[in-house]
Every structure is written in structure tokens, then in C-alpha cells.
Chains A and B, each alone.
Chain A
């Protein structure tokens, strides 16, 4: 059962974030279309992640995570040039992901023993999942009303539940 992501209160966005009026639904529709396009690409990458996990290719799985994070953060950069509180939270989570990834991939930094590598990989997958969720919350804040955001929230919740399950399955391959 998918857990709906938490919708921020309308108008709670930080300074610098464009707040739409209720009658800006056409704009919101365009924004939603772009979110749907983003989600189509994210789901494609998630399916690639599932395939990498099924064939026990840890390196490829991490690459899919990086691609997934890149897509989400590029979308955020395009639509949220000024970071509100939700976006700052998302950026912090993305930083955790980058930190864990760097520790795994940078020459000389990667732990030699399996247990430490497993812990780092687990941190990497978990941080990616949490960062994506935090970005989704930030993306939701751009909708003028909860009603306008409903379709996107349901879609994001469905994807997040699948991603969480995928990440949970991914940990043993580290």
C-alpha cells in the first residue's frame, strides 16, 4: 500500500518561490505535464535499477541511482531557482547521497571490507530514496492548491512506494 507523501500547506514556501494564484490552473497544468514527463523517465530508470538488482550488478545499480538523482535535481534547478525550505531539505538529502556515493566510488576512499561497503551502499540507496521523496515534496509545493496537486501526489506516492521497495531489494547485492 502506497503511503501518500506529505503535502505542504499551500503558501508555506520560502522566500523567492513563485506562489501561484488559484486561477493559475493552466500554468499548474503545464507544470503537471512536465512532472508527468519527468515521472515517465524516472520510472524507466527505476525499471533499469530493478534489472540491475536482478542481475546482481551493484555498480550498474548505483549508476541508475545517480542518473535518477540527476534527473530529479535538474528538474528542481529548472523550476526552483531559489530554494525554499522544502527544497533546502531536498538538497540536504541529495548531499547525503553524494557523500555516501563519493565514499563508495572515490579511489582510495572505498572501504576494503565487505561489511563497511554494505553499510555504505545501504546508506547510498536510502539517501537516494529519501532525497527523491524530499524533492517530490518540494515539487508538490509548487501547486497552488491541494486539489490541483492531487493527481501528482497520487502518482508520486505510487512511485515512491515502488522505489522504496526497489531500494530495499537492492541492499543485499552490495
Chain B
């Protein structure tokens, strides 16, 4: 009885597959083999329809177990094994292959996505030798048969090498191949604007009334490292600033809510919980803190990192390890006096 029912479901499944409804076909065929686990036709159709090669191999091996002399199943298994081991992604810059997609290449460590500077950045600097080699290859393609992707990835390679002007020229060239792509046009425009603003004139801290009984200007240090908080605190205190500490973005926002906005915020990028870039954006979004200068202190020193900081709304980007004197100079640009 079950076998008869299974045969009917298999017929319906095959009909669904022929009609192009693969989801329904897979559902019906799986139902059929749950009723008749050795239904060869159901297993073979499922092997052909399933997306996952490992699952397909499982169905084919079941057929082979029942029918070891099946003339074509061993070949199909080999085909599925080849699918299983085939790389699904390759880096457009260094051509390294991988089984999954990356926005930062695990081999050359180049950021590959202009639209996602928040996730595309490598935690380590790119392998400049590999990226340079990739850039030369892409430059050759651009010369011989220019098209959107060649210009785009040559732009990304140059950006990873810190050649921002050349990179922007490639992005603009890529845009000529897709004049109607308003999304990409916006990305390029935003990126260009961020690059232009990397070293803007200092945004002064909000004016405060001066007079007798002046209180020191306050600097908030947001860093998950207690050592950094303490050493920045020491440096700032010695120069007449009052220091407020926070271990992450949430704690910083909470302190701003309860104790008021500081005159300047020094923030690390990578922190558990809310990271520094998110904090920076939140500070800019709140009218009460939108004008508070924010200086990023980060171990990442790539051009893209700095652009990402700029896009989040920071005023300066200092890299670690920092010289205390340089830090004081940067803070003084925004808070010229230690007291208000």
C-alpha cells in the first residue's frame, strides 16, 4: 500500500520537476522516499534536483547500494564529488579560490566591496605584493578589454594600496559602463566626498561661557582596554582636561545621557558590544551631541579604515600606538584650552 502511494507521489514529483517547480518536486520526492526508502527513481530524481552535492551523493549511494551494477550512478557520484570540491568563489584581485564568498579576501586581505566599508575592511593590512600583482593583471585587462568589473576591481586594488586618486579614477571609469546605476554612482560620490574630507579643518568644541570658577573641559575616553583608558586619562589630566571613561559604546551613551555631553570624545573602533563607529554615528545623529568633536583612536591604519571613520562622522583619525604629545595636539585643535 505504502509503495503504491509512494509511486503516485513520485509521479506527482516528477511532474512538478518537469513543470519547473523544483521546490514542490523535492518535497514530494522526499515524501516518497520516506514511504519507500529504496525507490530508485525517486532517489535519482532527488539527486538531480537537490542543490547540495553532499545530499545528492547520499541519494546516489543509496541507489548504488541497492543496485551495485547501475551503469551511470558511479559517474554521477564523481560529478557530484567534483561539485562538492569545486571552489565557489575567487578573489577578483589575487584570484585565490575559496568555498564561500568574502568581502575581504582571506588570501591577499584586500577589501573588495566599496559599498560595505563597514564589513569589507581587513583586520590586518593587505598583502601588498599580492594586491600589486593583481592590480597589474587588472590594469592589463582594462587596457585590452575595458569593462565595469575590471575598472571596479582595479579601483579596489588601488584603494587597498593606498592610491586613492588612481582608485577614484577607476571607479569613475567603471561608472561610464553603468551610467544608469544610481546605486553605484551614489557609492562613488559618497566615497569621493569622504576622501576629500579626510583632513578637514577642526570642528571647534561647543562654545562655553568663560569666567571665574571655570571647570576643566571634559574628554570622554571610550576604549575596552583599561590600559589605554588609563594612559589617555593620565595624558589628558596632565594637560588640564577632566577625563570620563567608558568601556564600550553603550556605556558611553549611557554616561552622556546621565552626565551630559563631554567636550570631546576619543574612541577606539573595535570594542565588544557597540563599536566605535556605531557610537560615532549615534553621537552625530543626536542633536544634543551632533557638534561634539570625535577623534578615533585605532590600530587600523589603512586608507579604507580612515574613510570608514570619516563616513561614521569622526573629525580625526589617529592610529595606535599613538604618541601622547600627538594626542594632546589633536585634542587641543578641538578644545584649545584645558578649561572653560
Contact = CB atoms under 8 A, between A and B. Distances in A.
Contact of A36 (B225, B226, B231, B299): B231
Interface residues of B, number: 17
Interface of B: 123, 225-228, 230-231, 234-235, 238, 299, 320-325
Contact of B299 (A44, A154, A159): A44
13 contacts: A33-B238, A36-B324, A37-B323, A39-B231, A40-B323, A43-B227, A44-B299, A46-B227, A47-B320, A155-B227, A158-B226, A162-B225, A162-B226
A40 B324 contact: yes
Interface string A129-163: 00000000000000000000001001100110110
A110 interface: no
B263 to A, nearest CB: 22
A79 interface: no
Contacts of B227: 39, 43, 46, 155, 158-159, 162
B225 A47 contact: yes
Interface residues of A, number: 22
Given A47-B299, A158-B226, A162-B225, A40 B231 contact: yes
Contact of B230 (A33, A46, A158): A158
Nearest to B229: A158
Contacts, number: 51
Given A39-B227, A40-B324, A161-B226, 14 more contacts: A2-B226, A29-B238, A33-B324, A39-B231, A40-B228, A40-B323, A43-B228, A46-B227, A51-B123, A155-B230, A155-B231, A155-B234, A158-B226, A158-B227
Interface of A: 2, 29, 32-33, 36-37, 39-41, 43-44, 46-48, 51, 151, 154-155, 158-159, 161-162
Q: Which 7 A-B pairs have the closest CB atoms?
A: A44-B321, A41-B321, A159-B227, A40-B321, A43-B227, A158-B226, A44-B320
Given A37-B323, A51-B123, A162-B225, A43 B231 contact: yes
A36 B227 CA distance: 10
A102 B299 CA distance: 30
A37 B226 contact: no
B321 A43 contact: yes
A42 to B, nearest CB: 8
Contacts of B225: 43, 47, 162
Contacts of A46: 227
